[in-house]
């Protein structure tokens, strides 16, 4: 890699002062326009002693004029290098190439009436710019961001910078459905929108992926930061138009103010990140300013994360089972539902810990335990009952999945044809060829495949054509207001007709009332699942449920459901 990272100037930076016959000098300035270092020739020109301190405006008094000072500040704000010409009665015309680098400004000066900067100097400035700026958006990068915080903090008074952490909402589906080219366009337009809203009120940075940051400096930083956040939220309510397609990608913002929320870079970044997490937690597409009370939520999250790592070893996981019913009243199997009983916090909802387990790489081990445990418990059921087990996206995409499932069935002795694996549409968005191979292999083993939560994510009909599903599960979202909403009725009817036309069964989730169950039975829905039938049951209660059903074989209403004879 070229020598383009500048922490402190190296002697090699000044080694070509007279290579091309021009009188080149090099100087390095911090963001307060104080001289950090310079070449020997520069010091000779301005008469610096070893202990001298000098400002940019003292060294180049002409730059203090409003027009030229504006050009210098433009370089700081945008990171775009500028060539500024100075006319000096004593030294003649000088050319200044002003570039923004990690620690401040780099100025390369050449002298000559009609001379241009040397190719070496231009190349040097280009490499420095690349090292300190994001290639895609042109914004200063994380290196610049860290340097700016380090320079601004700590502050000694009550007035310090405001830090804003920004994270795009619903960005991943853009990459997944339209490709990374469209994602790159959204990121470029994001940088433009942030810069437009920012104006001259601070500096924007791209940290990584869809993560951005803004540093504001000024006496009204808290008020200005909140005002800017509102302007950003308004900007991101407008659609992005990519290849003629309108996309809605929102933004969440976390705000932290120094020194109130932290007087070191790492402290301030943590506070802004905590505020950003609060904004995401409250529904995304909003801004939140750091409050110490937010730390309680973060501490609880970290407690869960630490506890989750040992929950399997401490036997804190257990499984509940919810019946699957064929109308009018035949129980045909159960869906296994993972539960976590925390020793101090009680029952933790799956929605709270499964994403955490996926992010920390724990789902493979947890999922393997769940599959084996559920298969062992299902051996005690009537032989015609099926077992449905959910596969998380992280688990589905791990190598060797089909071998592990096959080995588990062999070890436990559970018939493959009694196992139904449920996956969501989200797992199909990546590695499509590998996914197809995985599903086909599972089908060859005799395992049934169910597409869970159909209609709530991307619902591409190509999935139904290309993947060998046995069942489509209609999400509870469409069942909740089924009797009152004609649109939900139309959608459910269409899914049932589509599935049957493709030779697939349909299961309706979240059936809460007898009226919903009767409507779904009339429309030909194959299976029902929900609290009107039974809530999830512990393994110790399944025997009673099955026996109770077996004693009521003549039931024809949805008051009681029983095992099929």
Ordered by start, the domain boundaries in the chain are: 11-132, 142-292, 301-540
Closest by alpha carbon to 305, among 268, 342, 347?
A: 342
Q: pLDDT digits over 263-314, tens only? A: 999 999 999 999 998 999 888 899 999 999 898 878 888 888 899 999 999 9
Mean pLDDT of 391-399: 84
What is the dihedral sign for C-alpha 505, 510, 513, 519? negative
Q: How far apart are the first and last CA of the chain?
A: 74
pLDDT at 13: 37
Q: pLDDT digits over 188-232, tens only? A: 999 999 988 887 667 899 999 999 999 988 666 778 888 999 999
Three-state DSSP at 463 gives helix
Going edge to edge, which strands form the sheet with 162-169?
203-208, 211-216, 162-169, 250-257, 287-289
Backbone angles phi and psi of 557, in degrees to 5: -105, 180
Torsion of CA 434, 435, 441, 443, to 10 degrees: -160
Which of the two residues, 93 and 182, has the higher pLDDT score? Answer: 182
Q: pLDDT digits over 412-450, tens only? A: 999 999 999 999 876 765 556 677 888 889 999 999 999
CA 99/CA 529 separation, integer angstroms: 65
Residue 259: band (very low, low, confident or very high) from pLDDT cuts 50, 70, 90: very high
Lowest mean pLDDT among 190-194, 244-248, 456-460: 456-460
pLDDT at 558: 41
Which of the two residues, 377 and 41, has the higher pLDDT score? Answer: 377
Q: Check whether the bond before 169 is cis (ω within 30° of 0).
A: no
Superfamily of segment(s) 301-540:
EAL domain (3.20.20.450)
Lowest mean pLDDT among 94-103, 311-320, 322-331: 94-103
CA 451/CA 163 separation, integer angstroms: 43
User: Pairing between strand 346-348 and 330-342?
Assistant: antiparallel
CA 295/CA 307 separation, integer angstroms: 18
pLDDT at 310: 94
Average pLDDT over all residues of the chain:
83
CA 397/CA 435 separation, integer angstroms: 8
| Inter-residue contact 172 to 107 (CB < 8 Å) | no
The CATH label, of 3.40.640.10, 3.40.50.1700, 3.90.79.10, 3.30.450.20, for the domain at 11-132 is 3.30.450.20
Q: What is the value of pTM for the model shown?
A: 0.59
Question: Looking at the domain 142-292, which fold is it?
Answer: Alpha-Beta Plaits (3.30.70)
| Maximum mean pLDDT: which of 54-58, 152-156, 216-220, 442-446 | 442-446
């Amino acid at each position: 890699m070229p020598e383009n990272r500048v922490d402190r100037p190296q002697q090699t930076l000044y080694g070509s002062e007279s290579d091309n016959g021009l009188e080149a000098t090099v100087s390095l300035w911090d963001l307060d326009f104080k001289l950090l270092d310079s070449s020997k020739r520069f010091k000779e020109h301005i008469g610096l002693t070893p202990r001298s301190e000098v400002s940019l405006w003292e060294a180049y008094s002409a730059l203090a004029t409003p027009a030229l000072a504006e050009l210098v500040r433009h370089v700081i704000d945008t990171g775009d290098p500028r060539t500024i010409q100075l006319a000096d009665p004593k030294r003649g015309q000088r050319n200044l190439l002003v570039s923004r680098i990690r620690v401040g400004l780099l100025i390369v000066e050449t002298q000559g009436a009609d001379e241009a900067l040397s190719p070496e100097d231009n190349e040097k400035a280009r490499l420095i710019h690349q090292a300190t700026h994001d290639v895609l958006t042109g914004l200063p990068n994380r290196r610049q961001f860290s340097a700016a915080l380090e320079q601004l903090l700590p502050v000694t008074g009550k007035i310090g910078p405001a830090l804003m952490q920004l994270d795009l909402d619903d960005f991943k589906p853009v990459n997944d459905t339209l490709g990374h080219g469209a994602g790159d366009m959204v990121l470029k337009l994001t940088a433009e929108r942030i810069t437009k809203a920012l104006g001259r009120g601070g500096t924007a940075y791209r940290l990584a992926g869809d993560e951005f940051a803004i540093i504001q400096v000024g006496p009204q930083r808290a008020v200005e930061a909140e005002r800017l956040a509102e302007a950003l939220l308004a900007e991101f309510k407008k659609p992005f138009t990519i290849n003629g397609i309108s996309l809605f990608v929102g933004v969440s913002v976390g705000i932290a103010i120094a020194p109130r929320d932290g007087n070191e870079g790492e402290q301030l970044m943590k506070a802004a990140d905590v505020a950003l997490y609060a904004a995401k937690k409250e529904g995304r597409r909003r801004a939140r300013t750091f409050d110490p009370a937010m730390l309680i939520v973060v501490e609880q999250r970290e407690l869960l994360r630490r506890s989750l790592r040992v929950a399997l070893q401490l036997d804190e996981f257990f499984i509940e089972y919810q019946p699957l019913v064929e109308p009018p009243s035949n129980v045909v199997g159960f869906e296994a539902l993972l539960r976590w009983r925390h020793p101090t916090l009680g029952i933790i909802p799956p929605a709270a810990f499964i994403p955490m387990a996926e992010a920390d790489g724990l789902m493979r081990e947890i999922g393997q335990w769940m599959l084996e445990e559920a298969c062992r418990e299902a051996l005690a059921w009537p032989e015609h009952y099926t077992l449905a087990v959910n596969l998380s996206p992280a688990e589905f995409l791990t190598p060797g999945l089909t071998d592990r499932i096959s080995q588990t069935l062999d070890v436990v002795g559970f018939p493959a044809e009694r196992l139904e694996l449920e996956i969501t549409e989200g797992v199909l968005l990546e590695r499509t060829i590998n996914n197809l191979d995985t599903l086909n292999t599972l089908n060859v083993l005799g395992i049934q495949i169910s597409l869970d939560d159909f209609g709530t994510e991307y619902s591409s009909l190509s999935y139904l054509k290309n993947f060998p599903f046995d069942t489509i599960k209609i999400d509870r979202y469409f069942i909740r207001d089924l009797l009152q909403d004609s649109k939900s009725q139309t959608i459910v009817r269409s899914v049932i007709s589509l599935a049957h036309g493709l030779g697939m069964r349909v299961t309706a989730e979240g059936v809460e009332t007898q009226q919903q169950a009767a409507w779904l039975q009339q429309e030909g829905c194959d299976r029902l699942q929900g609290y009107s039938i039974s809530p999830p049951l512990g393994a110790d209660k399944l025997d009673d449920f099955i026996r109770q059903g077996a004693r009521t074989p003549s039931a024809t209403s949805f008051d009681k459901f029983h095992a099929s004879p």
